[in-house]
Amino acid sequence: MSRPRKVHVKSFGCQMNVYDSHRMADTLAPGGFHETAAPEDADLVILNTCHIREKAAEKVYSEIGRIRVMKEEAERQGRKILIAVAGCVAQAEGQEIMRRAGSVDLVVGSQNYHRLPELVARAASGEKIVDTEFPIEDKFEKLAAPRRDAIRARGISAFVTVQEGCDRFCTFCVVPYTRGAEVSRPLKQIVAEVERLAAAGVREITLIGQNVNAYHGLGEDGASSSLAKLLRRLARVSGICRLRYTTSHPRDMDDDLIAAHGELNALMPYVHLPVQSGSDRMLAAMNRRHTREDYLEVIARLRQARPDLAFTSDFIVGFPGETESDFRDTLSLIEHVGFASAYTFAYSPRPGTPAAEMENQIQDEEKSERLQRLQAAVTRQWRAFNASFAGRELDVLLEKSGKLPGQLVGRSSYLQSVQVMAPHSHIGSVARVIVTDIGSNSLFGALADNEAAPQLTAAGA
Ligand code: SAM
Ligand code: SF4
């Protein structure tokens, strides 16, 4: 075992990057790397980047600039800081990063994290490395499993990547190019990871993937398994009381997955289902391969299976050729569905994608104006959704101490942050909480009178 060194991993973008960042740290741990939250103390700084919108990539370059200053300061003191760029910007820009930012030592694409120990050792001896191949070997098989202490430090709610990449090729999206073709992990590998997390005290699992409901990993019976089958299997893992999944495509929402929402208590009544636009013309131009009606039908079927389901979505405004009338179709879809919340984006042309080459690009001012109107509509719905819980009882998974003495913070089934006065020993349990007040970012509540001592079933809790 070599001398202890420190690694700082900074994640940009989606939850898949947060998961990857954890796995990178886990993979470097056996080589003597400890995680640090302070980049200036680190021997290795990894920026795990996102390329989904233009601003995301620019943020990375300004972050590299900041780390370069620390690197130069450390060098003056006779200490070396290695800078690595990982994630989708690394995958998309490769050599270009080395050209624009000479302080970077290593560029590693999203499929190659299992090679990090070897790549970092080579970079430490002065080699400049760009490794953005899509290798054939199974990255997940080779990535180190998280250690028990690291799992505990990351809390009682964990993400698990079950599939990567995407074959849908929406015309605005870089994911099929940066993450490659859709690949699903074998069910057995996922179950083993979830059992390990549960044994260390994790109670809630969010299955993640760029198109998670396209999951079709090798099942225990040798045939391919659907996401519904995977969820049913994970609901049987002792200690896991909540399951979620994100992000889904409306076309991959099959009958079995819809039925699972009606059957599985552990499956939370909260679905993130991006629609992008309410206009059929835009949906066709985006190559979404579903219509507005198809989307509304999926929502109706899900609500039939589980009436208390809440929905969130992603919307893009200002896609090439979008007219005021198309945009109004989006607003009317929002009114029709009633979302608990939503992510809203102004269209950002991504090099190499078909939409970036379309001629009828929308002016920035028009995009901003529509974005504001969209955000106002979504905010109204989000406020109304939260307000509807005043005085009601909710199940809250208590996660950690709050800011005030004696206060705990947890999440409702609908992912709302809930603050409640409760004994520290309740952390890791699901409590019945009466909502007493609605804040701007959280709900406030009190333990229901009949709230018994916490029932902890997780093996390690
Ligand atoms: N796979 C998911 C789906 O099918 O919708 C989401 C993938 S993407 C990581 C997350 C969101 O970013 C998308 O749903 C979309 O709303 C937004 N997005 C992707 N590319 C974009 C672009 N070029 N401009 C603006 N927003 C974009
Ligand atoms: Fe991108 Fe999602 Fe479309 Fe795949 S389904 S191309 S990840 S937006």
**DSSP states along 370-393:** HHHHHHHHHHHHHHHHHHTTTT-E
Q: How confident is the model at residue 455 (pLDDT cuts 50, 70, 90)?
A: very low
Check whether the bond before 330 is cis (ω within 30° of 0).
no
pLDDT at residue 418 greater than cutoff 60: yes
Mean pLDDT of 383-393: 96
Distance CA 35, CA 47 (A): 14
Amino acid (one-letter) located at 405: P
pLDDT digits 0-9 by tens, 179-233: 888 999 999 999 999 999 999 999 999 999 999 999 999 999 999 999 999 999 9
pLDDT at residue 137 greater than cutoff 80: no
The answer to whether the Cα torsion of 23, 29, 33, 37 is positive or negative is positive
Q: Best of 17, 88, 167, 170 to mutate for ligand 2, by most ligand atoms within 8 A of CB?
A: 170
DSSP for 307-363, written as a single string: TT-EEEEEEEES-TT--HHHHHHHHHHHHHH--SEEEEEE----TTSGGGG-S-PPP
Mean pLDDT of 9-24: 89
pLDDT at residue 396 greater than cutoff 80: yes
Distances (CA, A) of 240 to 27, 93, 328, 379, 445: 25, 39, 42, 32, 24
Q: Is the CB of 251 under 6 A from ligand 2?
A: no
List of residues 6+ apart from 346 with CB closer than 8 A: 316, 317, 318, 364, 367, 368, 370, 371
CB 404 within 8 A of CB 433: no
Nearest to 333 by CA among 297, 384, 292: 292
| Two tokens, residue 424 | 């520290």
pTM here is: 0.89
Nearest to 272 by CA among 14, 10, 13: 14
pLDDT at 168: 94
| Two tokens, residue 222 | 């040798």
Q: Best of 54, 215, 248, 316 to mutate for ligand 1, by most ligand atoms within 8 A of CB?
A: 316
pLDDT at 211: 95
C-alpha 353 to ligand 1 mean position (Å): 12
CB 39 within 8 A of CB 10: yes
Helix (H) or strand (E) holding 187: helix 187-199
Ligand found nearest the CA of 289: 2
pLDDT digits 0-9 by tens, 72-118: 999 999 999 999 999 988 988 889 999 999 999 999 988 889 899 99
pLDDT at 461: 30
List of residues 6+ apart from 182 with CB closer than 8 A: 163, 164, 165, 166, 167, 210, 211, 214
CB 372 within 8 A of CB 331: no
pLDDT at residue 3 greater than cutoff 80: no
pLDDT cut 70: percent of the chain above it: 96
pLDDT at 450: 59
Q: ∠ CA(217), CA(223), CA(227), 5° rounding? A: 40
Ligand found nearest the CA of 374: 1
Mean pLDDT of 420-436: 95
Taking the chain, what is the end-to-end CA distance rounded to the nearest angstrom?
A: 30
Q: How far is CA 244 from the centre of its chain?
A: 11
C-alpha 317 to ligand 1 mean position (Å): 11
Distance CA 207, CA 180 (A): 19
pLDDT at residue 65 greater than cutoff 90: yes
Residue labelled with tokens 């199940």? 395
Q: Best of 16, 88, 175 to mutate for ligand 2, by most ligand atoms within 8 A of CB?
A: 175
Q: How confident is the model at residue 451 (pLDDT cuts 50, 70, 90)?
A: low
Q: How confident is the model at residue 14 (pLDDT cuts 50, 70, 90)?
A: confident
pLDDT at 460: 32
pLDDT at 147: 78
Distance CA 276, CA 288 (A): 9
Distance CA 26, CA 272 (A): 29
Distance CA 155, CA 22 (A): 12
Query: Which string of b and e fits 323-353 if b means at least 16 CB within 10 Å?
Result: eeebbebbbebbeebebbbbebbbbbebeeb
Atom of ligand 2 nearest to the CA of 210: 7
Ligand found nearest the CA of 276: 1
pLDDT at residue 53 greater than cutoff 90: no
Ligand found nearest the CA of 288: 2
C-alpha 269 to ligand 1 mean position (Å): 23
Distance CA 230, CA 187 (A): 7
